[in-house]
Structure formats: C-alpha cells, structure tokens
Amino acid sequence: MAKAFRNTRKGITGFLEPGERDLVRKLFNDIITMLEPDTASDEDPLAAMVGLDDKAETPSDPALFRLLPNAVNNDDDEALEFRRLTERSLRETKIGALRGAALALDSSRIVLNPEQAQIFSRALNDVRLVLAQRLQIESAEDAERIHEVQNSSQAEDVESYLALVYNFTTWLQESLMQALLTNNAAP
C-alpha cells in the first residue's frame, strides 16, 4: 500500500507498491502519447528547431485542450497565432516533466530532491487534469461525487475505476505538495 510523501533527511520520500508504480508510469506514458504532436513530413525543420509550428489548431479532444488551453480568450485568430508560437514548447516541457517523473518510479521507495518533487507534481497535475476532464469534474459537487468512490469494490464500471485513479493521484499529489511545503518551510 502506498505511503504518503514526507520530508526526510534524504529528501522528499514516498513509497509505492509495484502495481501502483506501474499504474502511475502508465498514466504518465498515456499523457505523453496524448501530448506528442502529429509530425508532418512537410514540416519546416528550422521552424521545428526553434519551437514554431507551421500551422496551429485548437485540440478537438477536451482533455488535451485542458492541458493546452487557449492563452487568448477573446480572439480566435490571435489564440491560434499564440498557439503556433508556443504550443510546441509547452508540449515538450510537459513531456519532459512526465518522462522525468517516470524515471523516479524505478524503485518502490521514491526519493526526490525539491526540483524533482516539483517535476513529479507537475506530471501528476497533468494526469489529474486529463482524468478530471474524462470524469467531467466541473464543480465542487462533481468533485464530491468522485471522492465518494473510495475502494475497488465500488469500481463496477469505467467511471468508477477512473474515479479511484483520480482519488489516488490526488492523494499522492497532495502528500507530495505537503512534503515540499514542509521542506521549503524548514530553516
């Protein structure tokens, strides 16, 4: 059974069973797959090298849109231009954090320095954003409904299973953030 992250002399330390590590690693890999851009053969290599996209489009998948929202709300053309200039870099940053976090899952005992803890937290946050979209969490009442699913015997369908996964990743991220805040508060 997972143990919450806590601040120790060796770093921010947590514990995940092998099955829990496999689940988190798979979640990270699923989000990486979502974020990897479709590569076109006619792409300008120089533009790609500096992080520009020849064309930009708003993601049709609501979960991907939650990860890569519009930065400009009132002008669609301006939002697409901003997306063209920044989205590749944002995707690469998120993928890098997810891959970095996955590396920390090599053993049951997870020990993170403060920088690694922040990266791990960002990766967990991206997972939670996607799960929240899939579970249609849009209000406090929706969140309460999801948090009512507490054990695997209640997971009778896909939504219940996703709720359990969402609750687990929420707990994991909360314990990580508490340990990180405790670490930062220490003299």
| Partners of residue 112 on adjacent β-strands | 12
Query: At residue 50, does pLDDT exceed 90?
Result: no
In the structure, what pLDDT confidence band is assigned to residue 9 with cuts at 50, 70 and 90?
A: very high
Q: Are 98 and 32 in contact (CB under 8 A)?
A: yes
Stated pTM of the model = 0.86
Mean pLDDT taken over the chain: 87
pLDDT of residue 76: 81
In the structure, what pLDDT confidence band is assigned to residue 52 with cuts at 50, 70 and 90?
A: low
Q: Are 131 and 162 in contact (CB under 8 A)?
A: yes
Query: At residue 167, does pLDDT exceed 90?
Result: yes
Query: At residue 186, does pLDDT exceed 60?
Result: no
Between 108 and 186, the more confident residue is 108
pLDDT of residue 47: 57
pLDDT of residue 86: 87
% of the chain surpassing 90 pLDDT:
62
- pLDDT tens string 98-125: 999 999 999 999 999 999 999 999 999 9
Which range is least confidently modeled, 26-35, 46-55, 78-87, 152-161?
46-55
